[in-house]
Structure 1
Amino acid sequence: MTPVELSRTVLRAVRRAVDAGELDVAVPERVVVTPPGPGGCGDYATNVALQLAGPAGQPPALVAEILVPLLAECAGVEDVVVTGPGFLNISLSSASSPTATLVGEIRRLGAGYGHGDALAGQVVALRVPYDVRAEVVADAVVRIVATQGGRGEVEHGEPVSLRPVPAPEDPAPLGPDAAQWALLHPAAHDRPRITADHLVQRESNPLFRVRYAHARVRAVGRGAGRLGFGAVPGDVPDAPGGLVTALADYPRILTGAAVHRAPDRLARHLVTVADAALPFLPTVLPHGDEKPSAAHRARFALAEAAGTVLAGGLSLLGIDAPDHL
C-alpha cells in the first residue's frame, strides 16, 4: 500500500466514523501520512486524530481510539497503535492471516454466517406424527432449512417422513430452553433423557457449557468496553486450533443439518465450539499492568466470533443465548 493509498484508507475510516455517528465533524479533503516520528512505531503515522479533535469537541486520544478499529479492519493494515497525544501509527501487512480472514467474515455476516444456498428454491415437506418431540424437531428443521435457501412445510399425515424417537415423558417441566435442548441434542434415533441434569450449572451439562460460553463472551465484551478497546480481526498465534477449526467448520455443519434434517448435528457442534472457546476466553483481556494491544484486540475479535456462532446456533434451535449466567 502506497502512502497515497493509505491516506485514502484513513479518510474512508474517518468517513465511516462520521456516518456511524461516532464523530461529528466534516471529513477533511486529505490526510497526511508520514514515517513515524520519535516514540512512534509501525510503517506510517498520521495526526488525523489531533486534526479532528477540535472540531469534534473530543480529546485527540478518544478520536484516535474511535478510528483504531475502523482502520485495523481495512485490507492491508496489520496493526494500529496510538502513541503520544493521539498519533495513529499504522503497520502494513503483506497478507491477512487465515484467522483474521475467518473472523472478519464472521463479523461481516453476523447471524448470517454459515447461511448458504444448498437448498435454494426447494420446498422441504416435513410430515410428522402428533408428538411433542416430532413437532419440536420439525420446527427447528424449518429454521435450519431456511438458512440454506429452502422452505420447510410441516404437515401431519402419512406417510410420515420425520419420526424421531418420542420423549419418555413431558419435557415441559424443564422449562423452554432445557426442554428444547433435551429434545434436539440427541440424534433422532436416540431416546431423549428428560431429567433435571439439563438444568444443573456444571461442566457435565452440555447445554450449560454452551450458554455459559456465550455469557462469558458477553462478559469479556463488557470488560473490554471498560478498558476502552474494541475487537479488531488479526492473527492470534496462541488461539486454540480447535476453536478456529470449529468456527470455520460451522457453515458445513449447518448445511449438513439442513440437508439431513438433523438439528442434533448443530447442537453437538455448538458444544464443540463452547468447549474450545471456554479455555481461551480468560486470555482475552489484559492482566495486571498490561495495556490493551493489537493482540488483545485480535483475541477479542476471535472471542466475539465464537459468541456470534453460539448465539446464531442457539437461536436456530429455539434456545435463548444469555448475556449473563
Structure 2
Amino acid sequence: MTPVELSRTVLRAVRRAVDEGELRVTVPERAVVTVPGPGGCGDYATNIALQLARPAGQPPRRVAEILRPHLVEVAGVADVVVTGPGFINISLRDAADGAAALVEEILRAGLRYGHTDALAGQVIELRIPYEVRAEVVADAVVRIVAAQGGRAEVDHGEPVNLRPVPAPEDPAPLGPDAARWALLHPAAHDRPRITADHLVQRASNPLFRVRYAYARTRAVTRNAAALGFTADPAAISVALGLDAAAPGTAPFSGGVPPSLTTPTPGETPPLTTPLLTTLADHPPTLTRAADHRAPDRLARHLVTVADATLAFLPTVLPFGDEKPSAAHRARLALAEAAGAVLAAGLSLLGIDAPDHL
C-alpha cells in the first residue's frame, strides 16, 4: 500500500465513521500520511484525528479511537496505534509488497509523482513586492500549487502576503539554476547567500549533491543496460527478503560521494529502507510546500532524497564476476525511482536535472 493509497484508506475510514453516526464532521478532501515522528511507531502516521477534533467537538484521541477499528479491518493493515495527543500510527502487513507498489507508482507517474487534486478548485492569490527573490519564490509556489490541483495568481498589489527576505545582491551571475537554488533553498525568513559556493562540485554544495545523485541514477541505468539487465520493481519483495538481516546504509554526509566507493567483495548489499522512506515522503512534502507557500521545504527534501540515493547507489550493479540477480534488478528499479523523484522535484523548482554531471 502506497502513501497515496493509505491516504484514501484513511478518508474512507472517516466516511464510514460519519455514515455510522460515530462522527459528525464534513469528510475532508485529503488526509496527510507521512512517516511517524518522534514517539510514533509503525510504517506511517496521520494527524487526521487532530484535524477533525474541533469540528467533531471531541478530543483528538477520542476521534482517533473512533477511526482505529475502521482502519484495523482494512486488508493490508497489520496494526493501528494511537500515540501522543491523537496521532494514528499504521503498520502494514507486507512491507515488501508496499515497497514494490511504491516504486511501481513512482516509475509509472514519473515527473507527476506526488501530484494530487488536494487544492482542486482553489485559487490562491500571491501578492509580492518587486524583488527578485519574491519573484522566484512566487514562480515556484505557482508550480507546486498547480501540482496539487490548484491555481496561484501572482500580483504586485498591496497588502503583500508573500515577502521572503530579499537577496543581498543580484544572483544572476550564478547562472539560472544555481541562482534559483540560492533563492529557494533557504526558508523565506532566512537571508539567502549569493556566493560561488553554489557552483562548486563538492559534497558541501547541496545543489551539487541533488543534481549529482540524479545524474548517477541515469548512469547506473546505462551501465545496467550494458551488463544486460533492466529494472524490475516486482523483484523488490525478493530483494527485501535477501537483505532483511543486512544493516542499513549511513546517509551521505560529505567527503567522497559513496557512489565512487566500492562495496566489500562477497557481501550482499541491502535494499536500504531510508531511501524508500524518503521517496514515500515526497507527496506529503509537496502538499506541505503548497499549503505553506514554502518551496524551501521541497528543496530540503530533495537534499534528503539525494543523500539517501548516493548512499544506496553502490549496491545497484553487480560486483566483479557477480551475475545480475533479482536483487540487482530490484535495486535498479529503486534507483530509477529515486531519479524520477529528484527530477520531478527539480522541475517544480524550475531547475534543470542533467543526465551527465
Does TM-score exceed 0.5, indicating one fold?
yes
Instruction: State the shift of 1:96 in Å.
Output: 5.3
Give SS of 2:342's match.
helix
Which residue is 2:65 aligned to? none
Q: Does 1:175 align with 2:172?
A: no
Q: Does 1:307 align with 2:330?
A: no
Which residue is 2:297 aligned to? 265
Which residue is 2:218 aligned to? 218
Structure 1 runs, 4 residues or longer, greater than 6 Å off:
none
2:277 is matched by which residue type in structure 1? T
Which residue is 2:127 aligned to? 127
2:108 is matched by which residue type in structure 1? R
Structure 1-normalised TM-score?
0.70
* CA distance in structure 2 between the partners assigned to 1:118 and 1:254 by the alignment: 10
User: Percent identical across equivalent pairs?
Assistant: 78
Q: Give 1:1-325 correspondences, 5 Å limit.
A: 97-233=97-233, 234-235=236-237, 236-237=239-240, 238-325=270-357
Residues 126-152 of structure 1, C-alpha deviation per residue, up to 9 Å, x if partnerless?
A: 110000000000000000000100011
Q: CA RMSD in A?
A: 1.2
Judging changes above 3 Å, is the alpha-carbon distance between structure 1 residues 95 and 153 closer, same or farther for their aligned structure 2 residues?
closer
Judging changes above 3 Å, is the alpha-carbon distance between structure 1 residues 184 and 298 closer, same or farther for their aligned structure 2 residues?
same
Structure 2-normalised TM-score?
0.64
Point out the more displaced range, 106-115 or 127-136: 106-115
Radius of gyration: which is bigger?
A: 1
Residues 63-104 of structure 1, C-alpha deviation per residue, up to 9 Å, x if partnerless?
A: xxxxxxxxxxxxxxxxxxxxxxxxxxxxxxx99522111101
Which residue is 1:71 aligned to? none
* CA distance in structure 1 between the partners assigned to 2:229 and 2:116 by the alignment: 33
Which residue is 1:65 aligned to? none
Residues 272-318 of structure 1, C-alpha deviation per residue, up to 9 Å, x if partnerless?
A: 00000101101101111111111110000000000000000000001
Which residue is 2:89 aligned to? none
- List alignment gaps of at least 5 residues for structure 1: 1-93
2:117 is matched by which residue type in structure 1? D
* CA distance in structure 1 between the partners assigned to 2:96 and 2:190 by the alignment: 44
* CA distance in structure 2 between the partners assigned to 1:266 and 1:108 by the alignment: 21
* CA distance in structure 1 between the partners assigned to 2:226 and 2:210 by the alignment: 25
Give SS of 2:281's match.
helix
Instruction: State the shift of 1:223 in Å.
Output: 0.2
Residues 2-48 of structure 1, C-alpha deviation per residue, up to 9 Å, x if partnerless?
A: xxxxxxxxxxxxxxxxxxxxxxxxxxxxxxxxxxxxxxxxxxxxxxx
Instruction: State the shift of 1:240 in Å.
Output: 2.4
Q: How many residues align?
A: 232
